[in-house]
Amino acid sequence: MILVWLLVVPFLGGLLAWPSGRVHPVLPRVISFAALLLELGLLLPLLHGTAPASLIAPGHWLATFNAPWIPAFGISFRLDLDGLSWLLIVLTVVIGLFSVVVSWREIDENVGFFHANLMWSLAGSIGVFLALDLFLFFFFWEVMLVPMYFVIAIWGHENRRRAAIKFFLFTQGSGLLMLLSILALAFLHDQQTGTLTFDYFKLLENQPTGTFGYLIMLGFFIAFLVKLPSFPVHTWLPETHTEAPTAGSVILASILLKTAAYGLLRFAVPLFVAASHQIAPIAMGLGVISIFYGAILAYGQNDLKKLVAYSSISHMGFVLVGIYTFNAIAWQGVVILMIAHGISTGALFITVGSIQKRLHTRDLGQMGGLWTDLPRLSSFGAFFILASMGLPGLGNFVGEFLILRGAYAVAPTAAIIAAIGLIPAALYSLIAIQRAFHGEASTTRSFPDFGLRETAMMLALGAAIIALGIYPQPVLNVAAPGLANLTPTNTTAALPVMRTGT
């Protein structure tokens, strides 16, 4: 039942925050922050829990909940938590807390409705990480998108409506494709076994093969590829990030992109093993292209927010390469990189939002010399740019290193080419630091630096990225049983061989 409360708490938090804005604009912020703190309090003890003995799924599970929902169609309200989903939900809640803090003074219109949408988007994301009934998974997949549309369309910047519509069309179109694949998978299972079900573990036992299995897998693959995003279905991301408010950009980059990587790991690969191996060279090729494409486009940007957005495409390219190596070391790197990217890129969008609030521009050509005027903001900005670049000793480096190490054992050519992609990443990162924070200021100006609230927030994020870079073992220990759950042993299907490399 505790897993149900993980969904109820943020949903109720949003429901209470909405009308409370009419009483006082601070109330929605306090309610949202308190709800997320309660959510964190519910999460932490679960790490030491164990699933009931009645759980039919093999592997290491921390908690489970299963109740009939629409039994006539084989749909259940099934929630399962393992180390992988626990880590991503913790990331969701922590980033949600920082999103509330960063929007504390930025959002001053319709504050209650803003926080309601923020909380409901987080609730949908948590549902995505918990749902192991495929119809329920799709339901939460859609739930997290609709509130984000309103966040962008109402509280975004000048071209917010165009960006919101583009975001909605891309994500809804790909989501419809995934729904068709989910239905096809369930109906095929019904035809072969006489049982209509959307249960993840039952579908694992009877995987589709051949051309039909490949086509069903493509529906999942394309839907997750759009959300990741990967070349060539990435075009919604830069504009959406640019026009979204700071909190919206933070949740998009830190959480919503990770739902796609999680979907590939949890569903696309284990449910379609033969087809996943068949498409692996294409997936890794798209990942490598994304690494270079995102880095090169980031290098050419004058808009600092677009630069950070394109860098996300590059980083997610490493994630795509790592997933389709079917290698244990690479998968560990994928988990580390997802968390590290969520922290570092979220911090970068907070920094960009702070610069825009002070200078009323994101144009690198109108910055320069910020280190003199805003030393604390500039130092944190430079630190997180270096973290995103993959500086040794920080979390992103560990994730990328493990992915490349694992990929080299399986596909050395792809690993070498992907590693070369780190060079343009260093170029755009160092140029961004130089143009934004060093040199001479283009105009005479005087702005307030980071205050106590912003400094404390960035110190916490910085400490997390340093801890992940210096000692990632606790995260790897938590993730390992969850990654093992992706290759259950009681199914007759030929599951991916998790190679540890040589």
Instruction: Determine the pLDDT at residue 490.
Output: 38
- Give the C-alpha separation, 141 to 135, whole Å: 10
Write the CA distances from 265 to 10, 113, 485, integer angstroms.
25, 34, 10
444 pLDDT band, cuts 50/70/90, is low
Other CB atoms within 10 A of residue 325 CB: 30
Contact 491, 204 (CB under 8 A): yes
Residue range of the domain that includes 257: 1-271
Residues 259 and 282 placed together within one structural domain of the fold:
no
Of 271, 299, 327, the position where a domain reaches its end is: 271
In this model, does residue 445 exceed pLDDT 90?
A: no
Helix extents (H) in 360-421? 370-373, 375-389, 395-410, 412-420
pLDDT in tens, 404-428: 999 999 999 999 999 999 999 999 9
Mean pLDDT of 154-177: 89
Residues 315 and 250 placed together within one structural domain of the fold:
no
Instruction: Determine the pLDDT at residue 67.
Output: 93
In this model, does residue 229 exceed pLDDT 70?
A: yes
Contact 241, 462 (CB under 8 A): no
Instruction: Express as a percent the part of the chain with pLDDT over 70.
Output: 94
Q: Token match 């703190």: residue?
A: 37
pLDDT in tens, 108-126: 888 999 999 999 999 999 9
Our count of domains for the chain comes to 2
DSSP string, 282-326: HHHHHHHHHHHHHHHHHHT-SBHHHHHHHHHHHHHHHHHHHHTTT
- Give the C-alpha separation, 430 to 484, whole Å: 38
Q: Is the dihedral of CA 261, 265, 267, 269 positive or negative?
A: positive
Other CB atoms within 10 A of residue 106 CB: 15
Q: Which amino acid is at 3?
A: L
441 pLDDT band, cuts 50/70/90, is low
* β-bridge partners, 104: none
Residues 227 and 283 placed together within one structural domain of the fold:
no
In this model, does residue 432 exceed pLDDT 70?
A: yes
Q: Which amino acid is at 378?
A: S
- Give the C-alpha separation, 101 to 492, whole Å: 49
- Give the C-alpha separation, 347 to 349, whole Å: 5
* β-bridge partners, 75: 70
Mean pLDDT of 447-476: 92
Residues 197 and 287 placed together within one structural domain of the fold:
no
Instruction: Determine the pLDDT at residue 222.
Output: 94
Per-residue tokens: 207: 């995987």
Residues 368 and 470 placed together within one structural domain of the fold:
yes
Write the CA distances from 331 to 217, 245, 398, 490, 491, integer angstroms.
20, 32, 12, 21, 21
Residues 223 and 282 placed together within one structural domain of the fold:
no
Instruction: Determine the pLDDT at residue 233.
Output: 87
Mean pLDDT of 372-376: 86
Dihedral pair phi/psi, residue 50, rounded to 5°: -135, 150
Q: Vertex 340, ends 173 and 316: CA angle to 5°?
A: 35
Q: Which amino acid is at 238?
A: P
In this model, does residue 450 exceed pLDDT 90?
A: no
pLDDT in tens, 43-75: 988 887 544 444 434 557 888 999 999 999 999
pLDDT in tens, 327-342: 999 999 999 999 999 9
Contact 77, 96 (CB under 8 A): no
* β-bridge partners, 133: 199
Of 236, 271, 306, the position where a domain reaches its end is: 271
Residues 48 and 183 placed together within one structural domain of the fold:
yes
Residues 65 and 151 placed together within one structural domain of the fold:
yes
Residues 371 and 457 placed together within one structural domain of the fold:
yes
Instruction: Determine the pLDDT at residue 442.
Output: 59
Q: Which amino acid is at 130?
A: L
Alpha carbon of residue 355 to chain centroid? 24
Of 252, 271, 290, the position where a domain reaches its end is: 271
Residues 341 and 451 placed together within one structural domain of the fold:
yes
Residues 16 and 155 placed together within one structural domain of the fold:
yes
Mean pLDDT of 146-161: 90
Report how many helices (DSSP H) and strands (DSSP E) the chain contains, helices first: 23, 2
Residues 252 and 288 placed together within one structural domain of the fold:
no
